[in-house]
Structure 1
């Protein structure tokens, strides 16, 4: 049984340990899930911001791409103009800032810079300081960047088979290759997640690259057709020495050329620009299918009066910024496009307003952020950022640091759950431990009870065998007339009667205990004299006591009758006297004193002997069923271990109790309280 109990404890303990480990693991998994979910929210917000910024940039680029090339001049001849040649002021002339565009400009093949903010005849000293500084930046930045790289020449209308590649072609090829190499956002995120394991990530673990492909997406080259007369006038306004200006008739309106020019030493990239008289290029021809469809000389002449204007998409031009600036982008970004009007090549563009771009990103982030999120725009990622979105515009990067306003909220929530888990596990472990302790005690009690029952069976067998043997022996002696003396016969008859009474008491004790255990013992409380009941018991037990050398004395005080169960009280006194006869047989003083008295609202019955007494450690256990003092193997006293247990049960049935008091120098008093 002990082995089974140990096995059960091991199985339950192992199961609880596994459940505890699973609980802790699930809590950690929940924490990782919360952090992953929160990171997913930051990634989703970063993607929304990217899409919003991209949409804004796309709309801006579409507006600028559709902008007529004439808007880059201060004045121009509109298409609706008739023969009067009236000039219209550029819609850009009122302000240098238009959305994300700052400072529109145009550069012709000779390196002449034209802006819509000032007339060509206006002297630089009379210009606004902002415009003058901007023109200086264009001369020192844009033109220097174009030298040897952006060759604006007439080869652009050549056939791809016949013309030779230039530096600009190489630049476009490299730019197209760069566009093709930019992976989508999902691939970037996966690469950012795998890079730390490969040891090659250049981004922090909490950062992700979010390309904004507005400039990398394929844009259509625009082809515009205008009448040659209007085109000639507009080109004449922008550049007095352009080829179309030389073709213009003497009666055409001329605009003074107060153009802001670069230094006399024209950059090498501009020196090689072909002029009409120097170029071996064939003049611009109408496509064969257009000429074929014309079908008549009149149609051909009408087509020759139209000029095809080719406007290419914008490309970024990065100009290093040598000045210390607080701008997020380290360099100045220009967006330029190539405009081809037959043999005339123009470079139009503007400076990207980085402050406006940052403001729009700031506005998108502030509008799309979720609860508990903050952000910061910077050049580099922050180490404490929950997620850093690297907004890659193609011409530069912007670090959008998404911040957790309450960084400890996940830890706090997990801590609360951890507290609950620890509390629940502690309660479960404590409950199981208490259950195991209770089971262990119950098991020990069952083992002890089983041992006591075995001892009880042995004691009952002995208690039954002894009187039966005596009765049988005396019966045979009397039956065979071996005893002749009448006095001896009376003695034998008395012994047989006493042994029979002893058997009756033993059987009655067993039956009463069985009834009490099953709850079927019925008590009959009737009014009576308890002293009379005690005297009857003493007179019944006196012969047995005298035969064992004991003398029974009584000290009974008069008291009024009260309700009690006569049989139960008799059993109490009989068992107490019988217990004294058993355990005080070796005492020097063999007196047994039976007392009764009235005390307050209870009747006291005492039985005193002068035996060895009862140790305090056993004074409570002697009232347990089947318990007997001493070692069962060396015990000399007879008994079944039920007598004192019945005394306690009968006293409790009378709403009373039992006390045990040791007497000096030797002896013990059993005091019974019976409620009146």
Structure 2
């Protein structure tokens, strides 16, 4: 079975179905290939940004380590107002570096330094032992009030978080000489309740309001009314114990928390590929934290408390104090590494435990959470390319406390359900801030230039496939139509050949047998002649079509005058028109009859004969049986031959289709006119072969077919 018969057996629905299967057979593998390529680029981009996240976390760690290291190097005596400087035998005293006011620290959000002894009494390096002698150290009354206010705020924060007993804000709690049993690091001290103390005086309360936020001042009295008395430093021992569940007094953490880390709905498909790498990184971090937790020993000197009190009467210099006879105590201290914790009030506390003479002291500092995280973490994050495609989440012991969006820092998340994306990198900071965890969540992972290329390739491929599918579908429809038209052509040719042959044979037999009278013989001979010419035209068309199909068309174009071409038309079609009962009207341009054009005589005659034959067929039932043929010269140096009939004309939607091969305006089963559907197609092809063009316009009434050929220059101009 050949292709033509196969196409003839298909309809539009079946063709669409087969074309769709073919399209999907190409689209699915191409889509899988593009998806795999894009996924690989995404993975490479993920790994690249992950490396950036690791480097950023390393920089944050290094910056924090430098700050902690600088605080670690501070001596035990730095947390006192007065320290011994230089040679101890010189009895040279000066103010501690931590006694400067305002607080000057490299740690963002620093509130102040404090020290808590084994009885739970709070002191700070801001105030001397005797407040009334503060002016002798260069501290003015206004500055003294500010220092007392800051110490009151620190007292209030620590007592609010039940780390020290509530005391009088701004008043230094004296440390009694108590002989007690040394407290071991693992010993827990029981909690006892105690009544709160009254505020000292209006001056201290006003100073407290000047420094402390209003909500903290209002909460101070409420907190004092219900906070239990804590002896010693048991609360500090419980801060970082995992087995102790601390209940925040006012649930500040819970109110500010976004949610738990385990509740994050982050896509971990990329992170799963890096499980082994994560395990190695976690092991290195653990070893590093163990190395940093070593105990440091130092030898310190400081004036005896009673000697400082006695010396206050003779102090004259605010920057340095030298007094003979000052008793200097020399001792050895064991200083633990710093610990870090988030208080119930939302403040950070960085503290260490110091052992001296069997007694333990807590030394540390209070830090505002917001400025600390904004400066050290968000500041570094916003300067990197990570901020353009990821969110940075900060968690403390599994509780999300802050989110940073970099370039989109104005975004606010009210709950953990709003956080989405893919997990890029997750790591705890180094000790002592190892309870803080940074989590990078990808909100938008760009694939880079390679991804753009793949997108363009995918879009181009889809367009090409869709365009190819559409064109192939149109081509298939045309081939189906062509196959059916070829079948119709065979039927039409058979009919066109059979009818005149049958008539010729019938009239020939009648003449041979002598059944026709002398009057009828002339009519029969004319009919046989007309039918033989009709067969000749049909055969010539078929032979011409065969030559054109084989690309074997050969034309012999020669210069012919317009007058000669019109004479040729008259001789070829006059009898054809008259026998059909039509009137022929020839109109040539007499003024330009000697102008020449290049024509192949036989092909031009076949063009005119086909046009006239077409006009006769479609205007056979018209009221005006006339055919007009004219030759005129257009403005663009073209000779236009026009063949006009007075029939029904050509429908507008078929004006271009009628020049297609095998196309017929009527259905093959119901058509009333004869013909094979190749006459006008041959007209178009032959005209193009002679560098002309053909078109059709409707007239009122009828239709006019115009054939144009380029006009040759006059002989004297060649």
Q: TM-score, normalized by length of structure 1? A: 0.56
Contact 1:72–1:116 (CA<8 Å) still a contact in 2? no
The total of aligned residue pairs comes to 544
Out of 113, 117, 128, the residue aligned to residue 137 of structure 2 is 128
For residues 309 and 239 of structure 1, the distance between their equivalents in structure 2, rounded to whole angstroms, comes to 14
1:528-547 to 2 correspondences below 5 Å? 528-529=560-561, 531-532=563-564, 534-535=566-567, 538-539=570-571, 541-547=573-579
SS class of match (1:504): helix
For residues 374 and 461 of structure 1, the distance between their equivalents in structure 2, rounded to whole angstroms, comes to 80
* 2:250 alignment partner in structure 1: none
* 1:153 alignment partner in structure 2: 179
For residues 124 and 551 of structure 1, the distance between their equivalents in structure 2, rounded to whole angstroms, comes to 139
* 2:684 alignment partner in structure 1: 648
* 1:247 alignment partner in structure 2: none
Out of 75, 98, 118, the residue aligned to residue 64 of structure 1 is 75
Deviations 1:365-417 (A, max 9, x none): 69966625999xxxxxxxxx96465789xxxx9x8986725548999997999
User: Are the structure 2 counterparts of residues 328 and 628 from structure 1 closer, same or farther at C-alpha, using a change threshold of 3 Å?
Assistant: closer
For residues 384 and 402 of structure 2, the distance between their equivalents in structure 1, rounded to whole angstroms, comes to 16
* 1:313 alignment partner in structure 2: 335
For residues 335 and 477 of structure 2, the distance between their equivalents in structure 1, rounded to whole angstroms, comes to 94
1:8-47 to 2 correspondences below 5 Å? 10=20, 12=23, 45=56
SS class of match (1:640): coil
Out of 465, 485, 492, the residue aligned to residue 452 of structure 1 is 485
User: Are the structure 2 counterparts of residues 573 and 355 from structure 1 closer, same or farther at C-alpha, using a change threshold of 3 Å?
Assistant: closer
RMSD: 6.8
Query: Post-superposition shift, 1:508?
Result: 0.9
User: Are the structure 2 counterparts of residues 259 and 24 from structure 1 closer, same or farther at C-alpha, using a change threshold of 3 Å?
Assistant: farther
For residues 236 and 118 of structure 2, the distance between their equivalents in structure 1, rounded to whole angstroms, comes to 23
User: Are the structure 2 counterparts of residues 428 and 222 from structure 1 closer, same or farther at C-alpha, using a change threshold of 3 Å?
Assistant: closer
Out of 255, 258, 261, the residue aligned to residue 193 of structure 1 is 261
SS class of match (2:611): helix
* 1:287 alignment partner in structure 2: none
* 2:273 alignment partner in structure 1: none
Contact 1:313–1:338 (CA<8 Å) still a contact in 2? yes
Larger Rg over CA atoms: 1
Deviations 1:106-139 (A, max 9, x none): 9999x9x99999999x99588537599999979x
1:190-339 to 2 correspondences below 5 Å? 192-194=260-262, 220=295, 238=304, 258=310, 311-313=333-335, 337-339=354-356
Out of 590, 599, 602, the residue aligned to residue 564 of structure 1 is 599
For residues 516 and 222 of structure 1, the distance between their equivalents in structure 2, rounded to whole angstroms, comes to 108
Q: TM-score, normalized by length of structure 2? A: 0.54
- Does residue 1:573 correspond to 2:608, yes or no? yes
* 2:432 alignment partner in structure 1: none
Give ranges in structure 2 of 5+ residues lacking alignment: 1-9, 192-229, 245-256, 267-284, 313-328, 412-441, 712-718
SS class of match (1:634): coil
Deviations 1:287-336 (A, max 9, x none): xxxxxxxxxxxxxxxxxxxx997644369999xx9xxxxx99599x9866
Out of 221, 237, 242, the residue aligned to residue 181 of structure 1 is 242
SS class of match (2:709): strand
User: Are the structure 2 counterparts of residues 564 and 581 from structure 1 closer, same or farther at C-alpha, using a change threshold of 3 Å?
Assistant: same
For residues 57 and 256 of structure 1, the distance between their equivalents in structure 2, rounded to whole angstroms, comes to 31
Query: Post-superposition shift, 1:166?
Result: 7.3
Query: Post-superposition shift, 1:460?
Result: 0.6
SS class of match (2:554): coil
Contact 1:537–1:570 (CA<8 Å) still a contact in 2? yes
Contact 2:587–2:629 (CA<8 Å) still a contact in 1? yes
User: Are the structure 2 counterparts of residues 58 and 359 from structure 1 closer, same or farther at C-alpha, using a change threshold of 3 Å?
Assistant: farther
User: Are the structure 2 counterparts of residues 436 and 258 from structure 1 closer, same or farther at C-alpha, using a change threshold of 3 Å?
Assistant: same
User: Are the structure 2 counterparts of residues 154 and 4 from structure 1 closer, same or farther at C-alpha, using a change threshold of 3 Å?
Assistant: same
* 1:6 alignment partner in structure 2: 16
For residues 613 and 143 of structure 1, the distance between their equivalents in structure 2, rounded to whole angstroms, comes to 111
* 2:383 alignment partner in structure 1: 371
Contact 1:655–1:674 (CA<8 Å) still a contact in 2? yes
* 2:319 alignment partner in structure 1: none
SS class of match (1:258): helix
Query: Post-superposition shift, 1:89?
Result: 1.8
- Does residue 1:510 correspond to 2:522, yes or no? no
For residues 50 and 181 of structure 1, the distance between their equivalents in structure 2, rounded to whole angstroms, comes to 23
Contact 1:71–1:91 (CA<8 Å) still a contact in 2? no
SS class of match (1:627): coil
Query: Post-superposition shift, 1:461?
Result: 0.5
For residues 498 and 77 of structure 1, the distance between their equivalents in structure 2, rounded to whole angstroms, comes to 143
Query: Post-superposition shift, 1:567?
Result: 0.5
Query: Post-superposition shift, 1:426?
Result: 8.2
Give ranges in structure 1 of 5+ residues lacking alignment: 79-86, 184-188, 199-209, 227-233, 241-254, 261-306, 322-326, 376-384
Query: Post-superposition shift, 1:509?
Result: 0.8
User: Are the structure 2 counterparts of residues 128 and 484 from structure 1 closer, same or farther at C-alpha, using a change threshold of 3 Å?
Assistant: closer
- Does residue 1:623 correspond to 2:659, yes or no? yes
For residues 176 and 190 of structure 2, the distance between their equivalents in structure 1, rounded to whole angstroms, comes to 6
For residues 125 and 598 of structure 1, the distance between their equivalents in structure 2, rounded to whole angstroms, comes to 120
For residues 368 and 583 of structure 2, the distance between their equivalents in structure 1, rounded to whole angstroms, comes to 122
Query: Post-superposition shift, 1:662?
Result: 5.2
For residues 108 and 593 of structure 1, the distance between their equivalents in structure 2, rounded to whole angstroms, comes to 128
* 2:429 alignment partner in structure 1: none
